[in-house]
Amino acid sequence: MLADDVKNSIQLAYRQLLESRELTPRYGQRLMIAEIAKCLSVLAADGDGDPPVCVVEAGTGTGKTLAYLLAVLPLAKALDYKVVIATATIALQEQVIQKDIPEVLAGSDLTFSFALAKGRGRYLCLSKLDALLRGNDSMQAMMDLYGEDLAEADGGDPALYERMLDELSAGKWQGDRDEWQQPISDADWKPLTVDNGQCMGPKCSNFRNCCFYQARDSMDKADCIVSNHDLVLADLALGGGVILPDPAKCIYIFDEAHHLPFKSNNHFSSFTRIKSTEIWLERCESMLPRLHKDKFIQSKQQASLQKLIGVTREELNNAWTVLEQILASEDNIDRYENRVQHAFKLGVAPKEVQSLASNLAKHFARITSSFQHINDDLKQQMEPDNAAATRQLAEQWFPLIGSHANRAESNHELWLSFAATDPQGKAPCARWLSLDERDNFREISLSSSPVLAAENLQQHLWQRCAAAVLTSATLSSLGNFDMLKMRAGLPEHTHYLSIPSPFDFATAASLVVPRLNCDPSDGEKHTEIIIKAIPELLGKKPAALMLFSSRRQMLDVMQGLPREWLDLVLCQDDYQKSQLLKYHRQRIDKGEGSLIFGLSSFAEGVDLPGKYCTHVLIAKIPFAVPNDPIEMTLSEWIEQQGMNAFMTLAVPDAAFRLVQASGRLLRSEKDRGQITLFDERIINRRYGKTILESMPPYRREIFQLDLASGSMD
């Protein structure tokens, strides 16, 4: 049970916030606060029970950010836990840190400190800046010769770096990329950063003034840390408590939690390119004599590592031959949107590939170990009792060797996965090959990824955290949370709650399914119908969003539209998302028409309230791309378990995506508009009717619009 003082603190803060902002209480918001607080109240009891996990689907308009802040922060502070809020997008992260938390502090008696947590890559490395500003020194020459990416040698703007040094020296900037006066290009920023393996930590001569560690110090003192899914997953993979506080002392809040399983899969995946790796190994070989000359490796070490690298390159050549033969078989390859790939059935590579992978995994394990030993020796050379020249040279070498160690370890993980046999009864890893042919250059890539995040999240998160809250506007599918349970591996004791949106869907919006007499599988005819329908449905000054499942169809529709309509289209391929939305709003504000063409990434995270979007058009039920190797492998495994993969995976996933896509229309209680779905399968297929029933209760207009005959009556 919650202590009375914590209960009172939550209730008082809610009343104060409503009064200060002149808001009326929302039933859904109050319910969300109560349910989260109740679920997490077990933390106040003595004992070592399972960490509580609370899943709250809070429909648009609930006010979920305020709800979870009020429900969790008073309890966490009373019990001396840290609160880690993890978002999936920068936009929401900025909203929480710049708007939501300040409003809670300003409008209530709650007191807590907060900080923004970012990865090392968002902060400038002072040692890198020093090296770049020194110009043609020995370190720059080494990076030009032996750097991981050949493009690095061309990157960088010296004038920009001088301005950065001036701002740092004057205390006007703390080395945060996002706080610089204007956007910094990747080409200019990349030479300024290091990753975990390249950072010297306390050994660095610039450690006391380090931008990253200063930001981390302020974070360690905060009650509430606003982060992102990727940074949380990176910390957990390192064992927890490395970047963020100890998981056992953290209550995690995952906003936009539907992304978490897929982010986890990406985080625990591995990847390599054959030819690029060979080129990198050649550069490593050419680096060793210089390393020996600077007395950081002995002759015996140099000879041993050169021999090992040579053997590894030979083995990569053998692998190329075998993999090329697999990709050359017309029966085995899959061509989709200019990609050539081959996914191994159930993720099982052929014996010949497994044997090669086993050898390469051993080689890369030894290469990784060799570079790590060299870096350990470099750390010793950085000790204060060594000569200044030796320390400086060791500092120059350290990030470069660390970079090579990381790349070798990445290759080791990939080949280890390809050599492995997945445990019986558990979901396998997806393993696949890709062929890239351009400008007379051929490259073969290998990828491996878990198909379910369940095991990784169970091991690293659900069993180790103090507590967790997962929330989003859409978490269930077909009226249940089965899909989320399976993909995220949520524990049996997880508490689930679905709070409907307060919107009056039937009054605010109509769901129109026109008669087409055409299945979307007939791509040419389906595209023609959409091309003819757009001008008639939208009028001369649209404020609309058109969502496609296929880039090919999106481009075909664009090419088929009349010229005057093309001038109204803003296509996601032509602009960054934020810039495109800005242009769209500007057009509407000027009284002009604007129509956004987007793919799946525009089916969420697009907030165009009121006049900015009065019509959402959806080309077809958004089934996942059938050629995705991860989903293909998962489907094969589901079938092997005796289940129907289409009904178990594809239909619930499509229903989830369709709810998200249609949700772009109503962003506030005052919004009004129409959703048009160009897909009769939602009516005339049994699975379609299941999907239709899972959608919000929009006013339905089924086949009242006849596009098959050209009639718009």
Residue 575 DSSP code: S
| Interatomic CA distance for residues 70 and 224, integer angstroms | 12
| Interatomic CA distance for residues 128 and 134, integer angstroms | 10
* Residue 548 structure tokens: 């496609």
Domains 4-113+222-264+453-499 and 505-706 share a fold: yes
Mean pLDDT of 68-86: 96
**Residue for token digits 């929480």?**
96
Mean pLDDT of 206-211: 89
| Interatomic CA distance for residues 84 and 224, integer angstroms | 6
Q: What percent of the chain has pLDDT over 70?
A: 95
Q: How confident is the model over 16-54, as pLDDT tens digits?
A: 999 998 888 899 999 999 999 999 999 987 667 899 999
Is the per-residue pLDDT at 148 higher than 80?
Answer: no
Give me the long-range contacts of 5-13 (CB less than 8 A, separation at least 24): 5/78, 6/37, 6/44, 6/74, 6/75, 6/78, 7/37, 9/74, 9/78, 9/110, 10/37, 10/70, 10/71, 10/74, 10/75, 12/108, 12/109, 13/70, 13/74, 13/104, 13/108, 13/109, 13/110
> What is each CA distance from 430 to 193, 332, 443, 455, 631, in whole angstroms?
32, 16, 20, 15, 8
Q: What are phi and psi of 538, to 5 degrees?
A: -100, -15
Is the per-residue pLDDT at 334 higher than 80?
Answer: no
Q: What is the pLDDT of residue 219?
A: 82
Q: What is the pLDDT of residue 1?
A: 59
Confidence of residue 465 (pLDDT cuts 50, 70, 90): very high
Q: What is the pLDDT of residue 46?
A: 64
Q: What percent of the chain has pLDDT over 90?
A: 75
Q: What is the pLDDT of residue 131?
A: 79
Domains of the chain by residue range: 4-113+222-264+453-499, 120-216, 269-450, 505-706
Which runs of E-coded beta strand occur in 213-296?
224-228, 250-255, 270-273
Residue 148 DSSP code: S
Q: What is the CATH number of domain 4-113+222-264+453-499?
A: 3.40.50.300
Confidence of residue 475 (pLDDT cuts 50, 70, 90): very high
Q: Compute the C-alpha angle 632/633/634, nearest 5°.
A: 95
Higher pLDDT pick, 151 / 389: 389
| Interatomic CA distance for residues 620 and 525, integer angstroms | 13
- Cβ of 364: how many Cβ atoms within 10 Å? 26
Q: How confident is the model over 120-145, as pLDDT tens digits?
A: 888 999 988 887 887 644 555 555 55
Q: What is the pLDDT of residue 679?
A: 97
Q: What is the pLDDT of residue 425?
A: 87
Confidence of residue 437 (pLDDT cuts 50, 70, 90): confident
Q: What are phi and psi of 515, to 5 degrees?
A: -80, 125
Work out the mean pLDDT of the chain and round it to a whole number: 91
Q: What is the pLDDT of residue 4?
A: 81
Residue type, 310: G
Q: How confident is the model over 616-632, as pLDDT tens digits?
A: 999 999 998 888 999 99
Residue by residue, DSSP assigns 370-419 as: HHHHHHHHHHHHTSTTS-HHHHHHHHHHHHHHHHHHHHHHHHHHHHHHHH
Asked which of 316-320, 437-441, 477-481, 497-501 is least confident by mean pLDDT, the reply is 437-441
**Whole-prediction pTM:** 0.90
Q: What is the pLDDT of residue 157?
A: 84
Q: At what angle do helices 351-381 and 388-419 cross, to 10 degrees?
A: 160
CA dihedral 635, 639, 643, 645 (to 10 degrees): 30
- Whether residue 561 contacts residue 534, with contact meaning beta carbons closer than 8 Å, is answered with yes
Residue 481 DSSP code: S
Nearest CA among 447, 448, 434 for reference residue 338: 434
Q: What is the pLDDT of residue 150?
A: 36
Q: What is the pLDDT of residue 154?
A: 47
Q: What is the CATH number of domain 505-706?
A: 3.40.50.300
Is the per-residue pLDDT at 490 higher than 70?
Answer: yes
Q: What is the pLDDT of residue 340?
A: 84
